[in-house]
A and B are shown apart, each in its own frame.
Chain A
Amino acid sequence: MNFLEKLLALDRRIIFLFIAIAVALPLFFTVKLHIEVTPVVRNLHNALEALPPGSKVLVSLDYDPGSMPELQPMAESFFRYCFMRDLKIIIIGLWPNGPIQANSALEVILNEPDIKKKNPKYGIDYVNLGYTAGNEVVIERMGSDIPVTFPKDYSGSKTEDLPLMKGVKNFNNIDFVYNLSAGYPGTVEWVLFGVDPYKIKLGAGNTAVQAPQIYPYLNSGQLVGLLGGMKGGAEFEIATGHPAKAVKFMFSQSVSHALICFFILIGNFAYFATRKKKGA
């Protein structure tokens, strides 16, 4: 067995080790990287900038901890942005984990000095209406009656008694919807059951796995903008002028991508070289 053949038969655990090092090592360094804000992220940011203070933004967190490294930074940066701009936040979850993920993100953001100064109040500046079973049917029902769909918030207070929810009957009273999605139900369902029938303005943050499927909605204008994966989250942090977790992780992301590309190239080189030899 020559070197190339050995290379092809490399134990997968050695590859695992390389990946672990490529991901872990860059975390020890603080490197300021150039992160360009792509048009799809810029469009989302512009749409948010156009909202006047006091606008009501519905945030649907449709993911679980499995997608947290990608979507949690997006949730945190979005909440920070809304509090700084005095946008009112209404949180829901089509996934059972959504509302608790929101609480976790709020716990971080509400302790930041800038936000502490603003002193946002539960019920007035933000509410968490919790989760309800029913997937896309939940969106459909919200189109006719939000308080019936979510009669109580996550801690058991009556939705109609929350000051922020006064006068919120359906999507007509919501200025913008922001969806963080890791699959089904998620952005696709928000487009199908929210955007087209009820004409809501929708922006989304998706796991990178899901992002390519969403692009036709951007092209057709059904979706205002999209944050795709951790890079999308980093771009949003840059666009809002507050680099945070996603930006911090970009060095590690870059190195790991470079390593995978190297693996693909070296794997192909070894494959074709050995094939040529065998053929000869």
Chain B
Amino acid sequence: MQIDFAAKELTVKLVYYGPALSGKTSNLRAIHWLGTSSACGELMTLETQNDRTLFFDMLPITVSSGTGLKVRLKLFTVPGQVMHNATRRLVLQGTDGVAFIADSQRSEADANRESFLNLKRNLQENKIDPDGIPIIIQFNKRDMSSIRTDEELELIAQRSKEPIYKAVATRGYGVMQTLRGLIRDTWAKLEDDHQLEEKFGISPIRFMTEVEAKLKHDPGPRER
């Protein structure tokens, strides 16, 4: 996080991590599409010719609070392909929270696990404690066949340290809930570490209310 006391401005970095083709860019596209234009800036994608993320995607969201505090949320994705590990590590630098986008398909379970271990290693390499940073997990592609069932996810959620969300990012289902969850957990951690309420006079509840208002265009879950 970057704090500019003079400008009453906070910049918070949130990274969407996960295995190749799990839907990280789709999440950002959906947020860009669903979010209000007053909050969401332009979605920047740095991709190859065949639409695979080369370096990252970035979506800036600006929340100007009634207290005069301006919060700039910078949403990044990492390239999921194994060969881009150095880039993933770079993008992860200075992150404040991570949304891990897992692929719900049973066949991708190994890729999910491998990518999560890679996330832990890269956080450690960046001197970020994986046990201290807010991480949430989104099981994406709920509309595919051969996926882990809702009951299985319920069981996983019961014993998971990280909150679990479900999504169909290509249709916008669940992406805003995931984003709000990520912002809420990240803000709570930043509040603990930096006493933002004391410094800027904004409580976590008020901040989240303002975020919700800014991102209110979420149509909510859609019928499959």
Asked if chains A and B come from one complex, the reply is: no
